[in-house]
Amino acid sequence: MEFMIIAVIIAVILIAVIAANVRIVPQANAFVIERLGAYSTTWETGLHVKIPIIDRVAKRVSLKEAVVDFPPQPVITKDNVTMQIDTVVFYRIVDPKLYAYGVERPMMAIENLTATTLRNIIGDMELDATLTSRDRINSQITQVLDVATDAWGIKINRVELKNIMPPAEIQDSMEKQMKAERERREKILQAEGEKKSAILVAEGEKESAILRAEKVKEAKIREAEGEAAAILKIQQATAEGIEMINKVSPSKEVISIKALEAFQKAADGKATKIIIPSEIQGIAGLVGALTEIGKKKEN
């Protein structure tokens, strides 16, 4: 009976020891294992069992991409302007062994390396170039850090300048410059708008004048066409009258009488002097004689 109790106790102890040395590595993680104080292996995702007392988990490493925001660093530009720049570094651990044994306090090492690299790059640039060359600065820092951290098992994906803070007097000067530039652009836009407006007004007046001229031209053309048509009608009527006279073959006396009637109508106007041809004067005398003879016969 005692033997059974001891066996059960031993079995429980073995189960507890085995359970205590079973490790499950989660996804996107890695465990660095040391055996008797020396690096042994790296456990990937899954179920693992370590040897009690002999093996130990030296470091748990996350393989996911991480972000670290470093505080502002003082840097001096080529034209001796001191400003504060803070950076954001995106990195990922690609070799857990090198990360565990490559450098003491890796994040502090990356921070110091970032600050040193940033000072070297900014020191070769003037203030204006620094403010307008973020992409180039980011690219240069990323390249330098990526090469330097290979020995630490770290992959630098990218580095971003979060803030660039010039001195207060420089900021005031920049704000005044920006304000002056905005006012200049506003005046240019206003002048261009007034110019376009004047051009549109001039074009409208030009088109209006052209339309008025075309209207007057069209009216004169129609008036001329009407006068031409009236003259044509008169000429046609005259021609038809002459044609009718020619058909009836009038005598010379009839023609003279008609001419006399025409001159009589002319005399009813405002004319003060009318010259009558001799032929018509003879006819007029003949008509007067015939009139006298008729009066005598009546008496």
CA distances from 123 to 75, 80, 84, 109 (A): 8, 9, 13, 21
Q: What percent of the chain is predicted at pLDDT more than 90?
A: 28
pLDDT at 274 over 60: no
**How is 174-238 classified by DSSP, letter by letter?**
HHHHHHHHHHHHHHHHHHHHHHHHHHHHHHHHHHHHHHHHHHHHHHHHHHHHHHHHHHHHHHHHH
Which one-letter DSSP state was computed for residue 81?
-
Mind listing the pLDDT tens digit for each residue in 65-92? 999 999 998 998 888 888 899 999 999 9
Q: What is the Cα–Cα distance from 168 to 233, expressed in whole angstroms? A: 96
Q: What is the Cα–Cα distance from 131 to 178, expressed in whole angstroms? A: 14
pLDDT confidence tier of residue 34, bands split at 50, 70 and 90 = very high
* pLDDT value, residue 290: 43
**How is 195-209 classified by DSSP, letter by letter?**
HHHHHHHHHHHHHHH
What is the arithmetic mean of pLDDT over 114-125?
90
Q: What is the Cα–Cα distance from 130 to 51, expressed in whole angstroms? A: 56
Enter the tokens of residue 159.
């580095």
Q: Please state, rounded to an integer, the average pLDDT across all residues of the chain.
A: 81
Q: For domain 66-166, give its CATH number from 3.30.479.30, 3.40.50.720, 3.30.450.40, 3.40.50.620.
A: 3.30.479.30
Q: What is the Cα–Cα distance from 129 to 74, expressed in whole angstroms? A: 17
Listed range (78-87, 150-159, 268-277) with the worst mean pLDDT? 268-277
Phi, psi of 128 (to 5 degrees): -60, -40
What is the arithmetic mean of pLDDT over 222-233?
83
CB neighbour burial string for 109-133, b if at least 16 within 10 angstroms, e if fewer: bbbebbbebbeebbeebebeebeeb
Q: Which residues pair with 67 in a beta bridge?
A: 90
pLDDT greater at residue 212 or residue 270: 212
Give which of 110, 96, 119 is closest to 146, Cα–Cα: 110
pLDDT confidence tier of residue 32, bands split at 50, 70 and 90 = very high
Listed ranges 31-35, 160-164, 188-192; the one with the highest mean pLDDT: 31-35
Domain coordinates in residue numbering, the chain: 2-62, 66-166, 177-249, 255-298
- Specify whether the CB–CB gap between 121 and 140 falls below 8 A: yes
Enter the tokens of residue 42.
């790296």
* pLDDT value, residue 110: 92
Q: What is the Cα–Cα distance from 251 to 62, expressed in whole angstroms? A: 138
Residue 38: strand, helix, or coil: strand
pLDDT at 293 over 50: no
